Amino acid sequence: MPERARTSSAHISPSAHYTGYVWYRHRLADPAFVTGFGRFVHKLLWPVTWGARAGFGLDIEALLLQRHLQIDAQLRAAIEQGGVRQVVEIACGLSPRGRRFCTRYPHLQYLEADLPAMAARKRLLLHGEGWLDGRHQVCAVDILAERGNQRLAALFAELDHSQPVVVITEGLVNYFPLALIEGFWSRLAAELRGFSQGIYLTELYPDLHEHPRYRQLRWGVELIGRLTRGSYPLHYRDHAEIVAGFQRCGFDQVQVLDPSADAVSLGLPATRLPGLVRVIQAQV
């Protein structure tokens, strides 16, 4: 069976429940973002996450917070210093970012997008809390679609192309083989070229063979793959490969950030081990 036919984005949504509960635990989300399934999975995994933290110094929730808060920091800078007024968060899941940023910046247009079932659930959640309005919306998208009304071009069609835009994906790209995700990045870069300025924020977990906890990281990656009913490939080996990969996909400027180096400024405890997650800011 061809790679494209075997690979689907539909297996991603279950992990959104877990991260939604993590955001709530750390006071980044309202109680409405918590699901019973997310609470259950968090409790189920607690012995595993505790053991990884106590035995190997690997804190799964710290990694999630590092990436989330680093993306927040880059988005704030784009809004406050770059004049960005429209944001698209793809694979939004149960992310509370749209709610928080729309509250903080009343002028912001925020479009959340996900697969149809997850988008419908998110739309119902936000509507039920009275948080949806003309500037905060949810729609369906499939990042692998190259035609139809769920493709990227349809997602961006109603935005103001004369203004800058920031696109965010969080907790998405490492669920796909590199060839497929680079295909998405190439289509995204092409769409962003239609705007006065296009900024893309995402995170990825490089294949850091030199990391002192590499063996435990690979074990954790296999566990994540089983829990989300898919693989969890690690992309690129270092900063140079990351920059080259994004430039190959059509991005002109690529910045690779290690959130562990900025932990204190992000409001997190300082870390002793090198970071495992990278946040990418790519521009066209």
Examine the pLDDT at 67 and tell me if it is beyond 80.
yes
**pLDDT band for position 6 (50/70/90)?**
very low
Name the 3-class secondary structure at 145. coil
**Number of residues that make up the chain:** 284
Measuring CA to CA, which residue among 132, 174, 139 is closest to residue 158? 139
pLDDT higher than 80, residue 127: yes
What would you report as the CA-atom Rg of the chain, rounded to the nearest whole angstrom? Answer: 18
| CA atoms of 99 and 267, how far apart (whole Å) | 20
Per residue in 8-26, pLDDT (tens digit) is: 555 556 678 889 999 999 9
Residue pair 176/234 in contact (Cβ under 8 Å)? The answer is no
pLDDT top residue among 1 and 27: 27
Q: Is the pLDDT of residue 234 over 70?
A: yes
Per-residue pLDDT, averaged over 238-244, amounts to: 94
Mean pLDDT, range 72-84, rounded to an integer: 98
Closest CA to 64 of 14, 23, 9, 11: 23
Task: Let me know: does 211 contact 276? Beta carbons within 8 Å.
Answer: yes
* Helix or strand holding residue 245 (H, E): helix 239-248
Q: Which two tokens stand for residue 249?
A: 């996909």
**What's the pLDDT tens digit per position in 250-272?**
999 999 999 988 888 998 888 77
Can you tell me the mean pLDDT for 55-73? 87
**pLDDT greater than 60 at residue 124:** yes
Q: Quick one: average pLDDT of 76-81?
A: 98
Read off the tokens for 80: 């406050």
- Check residue 129 and report its DSSP letter: T
**What value, to the nearest 5°, has the Cα angle with vertex 93 and ends 236 and 42?**
85
138-160 pLDDT per residue, tens: 999 999 998 899 999 999 999 99
pLDDT reported for residue 231: 59
Domains of the chain: 3-283 (3.40.50.150)
Greatest Cα pair distance in the chain: 52
In this structure, the dihedral spanned by the alpha carbons of residues 61, 235, 276 and 74, taken in order and rounded to 10 degrees, is: -80
Average pLDDT over the chain, rounded to an integer:
88
pLDDT for the residue numbered 29? 97
Q: What is the pLDDT of residue 275?
A: 77
pLDDT given at position 48: 79
- CA 184 vs CA 68, 203, 249, 250, 277: distances in Å: 21, 14, 9, 11, 20
